[in-house]
A and B are shown apart, each in its own frame.
Chain A
Amino acid sequence: MWIRSVGVATGTANLSKRPDFIGLDAAYQAAEQAFKRIGIEHKDTWKYFDVADVHDCFTIAEVMAYEDLGFVERGMGIQLVRNEQTYKGGLIPVNLDGGLKAKGHPIGATGTSMAVEMTKQLRQGVEPRDRQADIYTGWALAHNVGGTGHYAYVTIYSLDKDGSPRVKPKR
């Protein structure tokens, strides 16, 4: 298991200084850095990853995460959920561990649990088996946010030591 890329960025704590309220700039910038390092564009990124954990501290935060991470375009995040594309077997399975709102959010330990979950998923060792994602590319992404978007981390895991992720096969 390789940590292939980490993107880190900060954002303002003052909501009145944010250009908009439909995403987290820190998360977008962290994703930008993380994707650059593994040589992929910050666009339609769902196709490179078998599974992801995102920081759904609130329902809307999860939808904003899809868009900040470039899984889909701005404004389209909700369609991923409505079409069940973030479920197991969907375009990009997200939070198969239940996410923050279902499994709990013990702050610092939340980020650690994401690292554990992405590792288990890529090693295909998830129990119970019904929440094991299908592994094609061997790449996974964890997205973690601190404060009200004051800082964000995007960590990319892979079974490959070198190279860029392949695109998932069409199903």
Chain B
Amino acid sequence: MVMSLEARYEEFWRQSIKQLNEVVKATGLPIAPDEKGQYSLWYDVREMRLRFSISVERIKRFFEGLREGKVYATRCRRCGRYYFPPQADCPYCKASDMDWVEVSGEGELLTYTVINTKPLTYSHYPDYVVAIARMREGFNVLAWLRVDDPKRVRVGMRVRLQVVRREPEGYLTYEFVPVEQ
């Protein structure tokens, strides 16, 4: 049976804390060797849980767009600069005078990397490609590139930015997909 993500991480932490408690009981100190057994590490006996929250009030149009399957950028009405991910303020004009524009989605791959060593909370994903593409409008976007075989990714290839659901969590985000030629 496949364990849910939450359950998997809970189990990981439960095991870690159990081991730590055993070390403290046996030795009187929360000190244990690192993974390679090279260095002694101090493990804090108090757990800190952290989940960031941040106001998106002034850019909520972007998230409404994702629900409609559309990707929006902001564009400064004064200088014409695009902002993606969208910003409510233009640091060049020191103004908050923005238009919401739907992006064309057409881009050309500038650079990419394949992630095969992942942080814990990304460890359930298959290897993924993080890419930067130059969009037709002239700004760059950083996003995952959805491909079956990372070996077939080439700088300069045509890509399309589209709204997807990131599974298994099921939240809306945007990804590049290769444009078949």
Contacts and interface: CB of A to CB of B under 8 A. Distances in A.
Given A15-B132, A16-B132, A21 B111 contact: yes
A14 B84 CA distance: 10
Interface of B is mostly: strand
Contacts of B132: 15-16
B142 interface: yes
A17 B140 CA distance: 7
Nearest to B143: A16
A21 B131 CA distance: 13
Nearest to A18: B140
Nearest to A19: B140
Nearest to B110: A21
Contacts of A17: 140
B141 interface: yes
Nearest to A17: B140
Interface in A17-31: 17, 21
Interface string B81-95: 000100000000000
Nearest to B111: A21
B111 A14 contact: no
A65 to B, nearest CB: 20
A17 B132 CA distance: 10
Interface in B101-143: 110-111, 132, 139-142
A165 B140 CA distance: 41
Contacts of B140: 16-17
Interface of B: 84, 110-111, 132, 139-142
